[in-house]
Structure 1
Amino acid sequence: RNWKKRYFVLRGKTITYYGEDDLESAKPLGVIELSEVSGILEEGGSREHSFGLVTPSRTYHLTADTDVDRREWVEFIRRVRGMPEEKVKSLLTHEVDPRNAEGTIDLDSIDSVTAADQEKRPNSFAVITVGRVFNLVAESPAAMHQWIGALSPKKYTLGDIDILTSCQHKGWLVKEGKIRRRRFFVLTETNQIQYFRTEDTRQPVAGSIPLNCLCAVDLYDDDEVKETGLYTFRLHSRKTTYYLTAKTADEAQEWIVSIQYVFCQLVKQTFIINEAEVDKPGVLSCWQTLACMCCTFVPERAIKRYLTMHLKKTIERFPDTEMGRFATFCDMNLSRTRKRDVVPSRDEIIACLGRRDLKAVVYCYGGGACNIELNTATTAGEVVKKLSLGLQIGSGNNRFALFEEYAGNFRVIDDRVVLADVLAKFEIEMKEIMKKGQNMLDKKRLFFKIFCYIHPERIMYDSIEATFMFEQLADDIAMNRLPLSHEVMLKLGALRMQVLDGDHETGSFLKDIDEVYPLPVITARARSHQDQLVSGDLHETYYQKTLKAKNIGTLSKKFKLPEIGDKERAEAAVQVEMQKIRVDTTEYWKRLRGVSTSMAQQKYLEMIMEAPAFGFSFFEVEYNTPDQRFPKNLLFGVGARGVSFYRNGESSPMKFYPYEIITSFGAPVQNVYLLVVEAQNPISIETNEVVEIAKLMKAYISSISV
């Protein structure tokens, strides 16, 4: 695409663009009417800071200088696009006249001004006075902060009020919970934050946050500030995450720095002058707390330098003591600790207390598993690289990744994610599952498998990578994640039996046919053939099964079979269809006598690579674009060369779109995925796997560009 720089101006519901920014002399090059915009793409293409505006005639692909500019443009366009015409006109013609004011706010009566947290009213803030609270909404986050700064009263001085004799920091914050409450917080030298309903700390304490078990403190996110206008930082303790909101960035930073002085307090408590105190239980308890914090907490630069100096001096003075070993462990982890998103798990804290690495198990297809050791900063990408090197599968023919697996469902883990966070999330989610009383037979686990099929045709058939492909494809077929023809699945089932069990022997029986042939397809075939099957076959199948279960014996040929209901007829039809597939697969298996295991696996891979659906990952979607050729429910496939749509139960695609003609893709709203294709209307599909589809498409497109 040929990108051209243009100067855009939004007036009312019209965007006009020019070749230069001198509007007095420049002539407009074009106009975009927001009334004609049917959708806004948050990501307008592969270029950074881009977004798209979809109109009936074309899709405008725009890119800003920064991501902040992009967000502001998208926000303004979305707001103006939804305004009534009368309101837009009033905004263009309105002039402020103090004589027309409907009311006044006495600045001397303002107690405080704070940003509000209201999803339906962005950029809102509250002016709290003696008599009432004024809830106001600004045009943008920047305007909201300007108003807050202009209206905020000077900081209240405590005068002769004695808060705490050991106070390190104090001030007003907004504590989030079921209800957002404004409280007066005090940080004490006893490593505790206490909060009160008023500034008079002689009143009862409303609550407290102990910092000795603090695991992490997160600074506010710049993007979040732009979206919400709130300077919210998080305090993670072992059991609770506290969300605290300051009025300004400086206040939030002051609180975070003050809280981080807990490190300094721990340095004091672990600094030993009298050698008789070395390795005393009380001192080692402080070292354990310091070890946990060094593994899960990123301190400020100045505090980190101070802490590092203390650790190195301890290592030099007490090298062969428990204190020295704790100092070595802290120093090693302090240099590699990353910002954490989840409160550490119980296993991770136990590992830190014991100065050990965290242990985990990574599973793969074929029943394999690998025990791995990871520290609190190990990422998913590092584990994938280590496993790939160890298994000698890092040739680039396929891209492997770690996945979260639960009950047969997979979600890819980004290479940059800290695995300790993933394990901690598993612990939290499994506790929620236990509370709900759900099935605990399945547990969340890490899974190593192929993410993208880049160049599968290049693999060596006798390699470990080929075995990985064989097992993963077999599972995809059994779980109905790969649409193939009936004949192909029969032959593939026979080849898999040859790999697993060798030559067919007399009496060999395919007991678990659903391991080589998907049960949903069997059911669908039985439903379509149900009316065509002979009634006697249905009766015989159903009643033989029933009598055998009741130990009654076989039926007499002269015994008249009674009528059976629809449910029983459907069950019998499935049994008949399953038996037919079992017999047909066994016949193909008999023909493979003498074929070696390695050759059977090679034939399996060669056959499946010829299928149109090979190399695609499939997602169940609803097709929302008006088109009589496409049914509502479809399979959407993402592959190395493009994307495709399949009817359920068909092995060939209805439509294939190569990446070369896909100009942009993204999610304009939740659970809706939009594809913009050259020379046709945008394609809209609905799915709850939008994120997974986007990750996969970006991975394939990036592999093409490389």
Structure 2
Amino acid sequence: MPLQGVCWFLCCRQGFSLLGRDYGEKEEEESFELRNKEDSTSNGRSEVSEEMKSLIIEKNKMGLEEESEVLVKWLLRVVRGNWIKQRRYWFVLTQDSLDYYSGPEKGARRLGTLVLTNLCSVIWPDKQMYKETENKFNPEVVEHIYQHNPILKYTHGPLYAPLLPFPYGSLEHTHSGKGYGSVREEAVKLFNCLQQLESAQEPIPIIQGVLQTCLVLRPLRDEIYCQLVKQTSYTPAPYTAAHLRYWQLLTCMSCTFLPGPTVLKYLRFHLKIQSQSPESEMDNYASFISEALEKTKCRECVPSWEEIQMLMSREEMLCTVHYPGPGSCQLYISSHTTANEVIRRIQEKLGLLESKNTFALFEHNALWEQPVAGSALIADVLTFSTKETESKSQWKLCFKLYCLLDADSISVDSIEYLFLFEQCHEMVVRGHLPACEEDLQTLAALRLQITMGDFSTHAPCPPLDELFPGDMLEARVLMSLSGPQALPPCLVAAQCCPTSQRFPKGLLTGALWSHTTTAVNKRKVEQDICLRSRLKEEAAAVMGAILERWKGLAGYSRRDSMAAYLAIARQWSGFGCTLYEVDFYISSTGSFSQKLWLGVAATSVSLYRQGEAEALESLPYGQICSYGVSDGNTFKITAGDRDLLFETSKLTEIMQLMNAYFSAIRRQRDKSEDVDVTIAESTEVGCRQLASMQPPTLLELPSHPV
């Protein structure tokens, strides 16, 4: 490998690491500077495309004569002492050492060796210059540092080793299972990716690839920051689109990962230098990055395509948040916007800051719905939704009532009252409001009166599944079809025959089995057709009954219809609670039940049989001593001397909602009052006094790790 112009500092000392040394320490070891001979006579920069060849990728114990590839050059060794001396030596760079000889002849006397290990680093600037320039930004001194340390400046050539010292091939820094090599190898590959940005027609895939590698290989984050600082320093064409690609990637990095403290200090130094060119694109990016570094927390995923586009142009993203019902609003968000901030802004916009109830953001899909933690970054939520949802059109972010603490205080003229009605109707359609069929038909008719006004034969009618719980209709049809059905003669005969006669051994065994299987499949198809037919008949009958009730509501105003709807729903004692499906329930007394509802409300936790209005058991919060995860998917509640265990897949949602209700209880009580309630926070149900905790803000949704 050729070496064209080497200008850098090398230093080897025990425990020394790049950028990690206190520059105020006393110099005890020998440090020296190497200069190209041509550099001593020319005032320009040496060609830096090959400066990184001096950094070794692997450690190899080979003699000079055995070395397959060595770099040789006349260099000046600058020895610093009471005075500076420059001496000319013949330097030989191998894969594990830097040796200097009296001359280039074979057999020349070796005068010294610098062993290149993981303790050997390239440093910039030297200690005295660091003291002189820290917080002063003397342009002449800074210029001198960069001119005499080409390792700090932009290069067209490749890197042959990382800028930071990593262990040589350490197994702890490899991720072969994910397709990655060692950190040293990946660092060199990433620098090549950075250089490809200059000529790439579409840079976003490359940027996402670099960010993804940094997400997996944490040690590379500081390395990429150093590489980007290098490529944005003393660039030959700083105002071209190709050069700005480095600034765009640096912007994305600053909004995704924070560098370590030492590299962060160096990065801020670099940004201040760039800000000395006001009103330039580089200055705009430097200011944006400086502000981002004050807000950035480590992201859970790589920014999406849309977010990277916005970051490259230093703009904010437009996020759509839906309300219960058909309403929605659009908000501008940054990479640092949290769910709590969005909730606060929406409450201000809708005049809900004085509400006694709390609100949350929900991820909503046709198949599921789950709350978003208050501290979650909205940008991460949007990115996860893009990755995990097959049809993005079905996914949406919703602003809804979360803790219904005081339904009576909601004004009938407020938008909060509309939210309450819409969320109540969602519960009805999902089958989470136990009521008789007549009440459900009346609720469906009131829904039509509210949304469409008086009955009209020309008015388009919504599908039944938007008005009436489909599970109830299907269960009734299945019940009617559960009686004994006539079987085909072949199956009747088969059931009367002993097993030995039913499947005789011989040539025709396969044919007889095939005939029986075909008959069974045919019977199954017939049953499916019959089921669909019965479902259509029942749906038509139910829809007819709903329409008749709708006709009887002529003249009802929207407000009166909404009040009548909620009056029927409030007849259930569990109105306002959130229901979670529980696979099974075991009490300390040994009672066992399957397929229940666990209802979490403002004052208690209750158990219901699915479809039944009366609670099997209800536990006021004052009786609950602790709650949390017991084991796997098991949720445990301790009330006095009783332990209740629930098997459920909704552990996180249950914990989050119960935490929110307990937080509301603390806010309503006097701070000096002792609250004898404990919370389990880990897999071993631990206890913690709620009174000792700081009361959260109105919009805080505590989310304990599960």
TM-score normalised to structure 1 length: 0.59
SS of 1:620's equivalent in the other structure is: strand
Paired amino acid for 2:629:
A
| 1:197 equivalent in structure 2 | none
| 2:354 equivalent in structure 1 | 395
Cα distance in 2 between the residues matched to 1:628 and 1:262: 59
> What is the CA-CA distance between 1:385 and the residue it aligns to?
0.9
Cα distance in 1 between the residues matched to 2:469 and 2:477: 13
2:454 equivalent to 1:490: no
> What is the CA-CA distance between 1:414 and the residue it aligns to?
0.5
2:613 equivalent to 1:651: yes
State which of 261, 267, 280 in structure 2 corresponds to 1:307.
267
| 2:584 equivalent in structure 1 | 623
State which of 328, 335, 343 in structure 1 corresponds to 2:302.
343
Paired amino acid for 1:496:
R
State which of 278, 281, 295 in structure 2 corresponds to 1:318.
278
Relative to structure 1, the CA distance from residue 264 to residue 565 in structure 2 (aligned partners, 3 Å threshold; closer, same or farther) is closer
2:576 equivalent to 1:603: no
Paired amino acid for 2:187:
I
Relative to structure 1, the CA distance from residue 427 to residue 506 in structure 2 (aligned partners, 3 Å threshold; closer, same or farther) is closer
Q: Which runs of 5+ in 2 are unaligned?
A: 1-95, 98-113, 119-159, 197-207, 484-524, 668-706
SS of 1:635's equivalent in the other structure is: strand
What does 1:107-506 align with in structure 2 at a 5 Å threshold? 160=115, 168-171=164-167, 172-175=170-173, 177=175, 179=177, 185-186=183-184, 193-194=187-188, 212=194, 237-240=210-213, 243=216, 255=219, 259-260=221-222, 262-271=224-233, 277-319=237-279, 321-430=280-389, 433=390, 440=391, 443-505=394-456
Relative to structure 1, the CA distance from residue 678 to residue 183 in structure 2 (aligned partners, 3 Å threshold; closer, same or farther) is same
Relative to structure 1, the CA distance from residue 566 to residue 524 in structure 2 (aligned partners, 3 Å threshold; closer, same or farther) is same
Q: Tell me the matched-pair count.
A: 461
Percentage of identical aligned residues: 28
Higher CA-based Rg: 2
- Does the 8 Å CA contact 2:256/2:303 hold for their aligned counterparts? yes
| 2:632 equivalent in structure 1 | 670
Relative to structure 1, the CA distance from residue 613 to residue 308 in structure 2 (aligned partners, 3 Å threshold; closer, same or farther) is same
SS of 2:474's equivalent in the other structure is: helix
Relative to structure 1, the CA distance from residue 209 to residue 452 in structure 2 (aligned partners, 3 Å threshold; closer, same or farther) is farther
SS of 2:615's equivalent in the other structure is: coil
Cα distance in 1 between the residues matched to 2:191 and 2:274: 30
- Does the 8 Å CA contact 1:635/1:646 hold for their aligned counterparts? yes
Paired amino acid for 2:424:
L
> What is the CA-CA distance between 1:467 and the residue it aligns to?
1.0
Cα distance in 2 between the residues matched to 1:458 and 1:176: 59
Relative to structure 1, the CA distance from residue 385 to residue 167 in structure 2 (aligned partners, 3 Å threshold; closer, same or farther) is closer
SS of 1:625's equivalent in the other structure is: strand
| 2:142 equivalent in structure 1 | none
Paired amino acid for 1:287:
W
> What is the CA-CA distance between 1:501 and the residue it aligns to?
1.4
Relative to structure 1, the CA distance from residue 654 to residue 583 in structure 2 (aligned partners, 3 Å threshold; closer, same or farther) is farther
What does 1:566-645 align with in structure 2 at a 5 Å threshold? 567=528, 570-625=531-586, 631-645=593-607
| Higher strand proportion | 1
Cα distance in 2 between the residues matched to 1:289 and 1:382: 27
Cα distance in 1 between the residues matched to 2:234 and 2:477: 78
Paired amino acid for 2:451:
L
Relative to structure 1, the CA distance from residue 593 to residue 273 in structure 2 (aligned partners, 3 Å threshold; closer, same or farther) is closer
Cα distance in 1 between the residues matched to 2:184 and 2:460: 74
Paired amino acid for 1:640:
A
SS of 1:296's equivalent in the other structure is: coil
State which of 470, 476, 501 in structure 2 corresponds to 1:519.
470
Cα distance in 1 between the residues matched to 2:262 and 2:214: 26
Cα distance in 2 between the residues matched to 1:410 and 1:182: 36
- Does the 8 Å CA contact 1:499/1:597 hold for their aligned counterparts? yes
- Does the 8 Å CA contact 2:598/2:608 hold for their aligned counterparts? yes
Cα distance in 2 between the residues matched to 1:391 and 1:162: 63
Relative to structure 1, the CA distance from residue 376 to residue 579 in structure 2 (aligned partners, 3 Å threshold; closer, same or farther) is same
- Does the 8 Å CA contact 1:174/1:182 hold for their aligned counterparts? no
- Does the 8 Å CA contact 2:434/2:572 hold for their aligned counterparts? no
Cα distance in 1 between the residues matched to 2:265 and 2:308: 24
Cα distance in 2 between the residues matched to 1:695 and 1:662: 16
Paired amino acid for 1:237:
V
SS of 2:649's equivalent in the other structure is: coil
- Does the 8 Å CA contact 1:175/1:242 hold for their aligned counterparts? no
> What is the CA-CA distance between 1:605 and the residue it aligns to?
2.2
Paired amino acid for 2:172:
V
Residues 451-473 of structure 1 deviation map (CA, whole Å, 9 limit, x = unaligned): 22121221001111111111122
SS of 1:168's equivalent in the other structure is: coil
Cα distance in 2 between the residues matched to 1:239 and 1:180: 12
TM-score normalised to structure 2 length: 0.59
Cα distance in 1 between the residues matched to 2:630 and 2:214: 31
Relative to structure 1, the CA distance from residue 506 to residue 307 in structure 2 (aligned partners, 3 Å threshold; closer, same or farther) is closer
Paired amino acid for 2:345:
K
